[in-house]
Structure 1
Amino acid sequence: MGSSVVVVIAERKRLLQLKDQLGELSPAPQRLVAVGKGETPIAEVEELNPALTRKLRQRSMATWLIPFGFFAGLTFTFITDLDTFAFAGELGSHLIGGLLGLGSGWMGSFAAAASVSSEADDRVRALRNRLEEGNWLLLVEMPNGFEMPWTRLQEAKPKAVVRLNDN
């Protein structure tokens, strides 16, 4: 993923003009997504949807927390020699401990994903407020190694230009 900015524009006509102008550039932006009334809903744009970002972060964390939890639970039952699940026998007791650890890892992935907030969250909140005020947003993502067309963006007289990332 290259560098990304969101341009806040007051008029839809100017938004569409800028989108067309940027699409004709060489090299063209990797992504051009217009957001606002009559355009792409903000909920469908990953960079502007904290809930979707959190969900993806939770899935990513679960891929290593769940197996870690299973082995931690299994190891704990071997180390402590507790007979908490004696009804299941020796092997069953260890397996139940591993499954409980697995569940703990799964729950931990939700807690960990929800507790992490990025710097971008505040910027996204400000952009959502601009959208609610009746403005339009244009997400512009340039390929790696190519400069953002700052002059072209400024010619559109945007209300704001917000950097999401610089890679």
Structure 2
Amino acid sequence: MNYLVAVLSNRSQAEAAYSALEKEGLPNSQIDILGNGYKSADEYGLINPQQAALKGAKRQVYWLIPFGFAAGYAFNLLTGIEISPAIAPIGNHLIGGLLGAAAGVLGAYVAGGSVGFTIGSGDALPYRNRLNAGKYLIIVKGPDELMRQATRILRQFEPENIQGYAEPLST
């Protein structure tokens, strides 16, 4: 499936573009308007950047916790730092491992979360920002020929941005 996303500056321009697409015979089921008074980004299914950030952080947590524990344990073992003289040396090493695991969790949420937020959401974040700024999106989905026809029609309305996307083929 291919997608064409056009960013239009106001509601009347978006409605005129939608009407022009209808007049040219594009099916209503393949055209959507996103913006104030129409579908929201969540209703349409644009990726929420916070969800992408959380997903990236969770992916990293699974390997950073054990690695952090091992690194903290080894660091305490090699340096011989006494965290508490009341517990045996093995207890100090275990506390060092737990502190290392905690550092791994923090690293996962900082690194994985920031990468997921900025990269994991793709172009969804800029489109969400434009919707929040009061702009409107016209999204057309369908085969290549329909995308070419829709592009030709939408260019007449001088959109701020027009971008095509191809859904990756599943194997």
Please classify the TM superposition score into its range, dividing by the shorter chain length. 0.5 to 0.7
- Matched with 2:148 is 151
Shift of 1:98: 0.9
2:28 to 20, 24, 35: 20
List alignment gaps of at least 5 residues for structure 2: 9-13
Letter matched to residue 51 of structure 1: Q
Structure label with greater radius of gyration: 2
| Alpha-carbon contact 1:69-1:104 (below 8 Å) kept | yes
Cα distance in 1 for partners of 2:165, 2:154 equals 19
Letter matched to residue 77 of structure 1: N
Letter matched to residue 105 of structure 1: G
Q: Alignment length, in residue pairs? A: 152
Shift of 1:46: 4.9
Q: CA RMSD in A?
A: 3.9
Cα distance in 1 for partners of 2:98, 2:106 equals 12
3-state SS of paired residue (1:86): coil
- Matched with 1:28 is none
Would the alpha carbon gap of residues 92 and 54 (structure 1) be closer, same or farther in structure 2, given more than 3 Å must change? same
Shift of 1:67: 1.6
- Matched with 1:118 is 119
Shift of 1:151: 1.8
3-state SS of paired residue (2:88): helix
Shift of 1:166: 6.8
Letter matched to residue 154 of structure 2: K
Shift of 1:73: 0.8
Deviations 1:44-98 (A, max 9, x none): 6453x32222222112122221221111111112222222233232222121111
| Alpha-carbon contact 1:46-1:52 (below 8 Å) kept | no
Cα distance in 1 for partners of 2:60, 2:27 equals 36
Letter matched to residue 14 of structure 1: Y
Deviations 1:22-46 (A, max 9, x none): 38xxxxxxxxx76433555325645
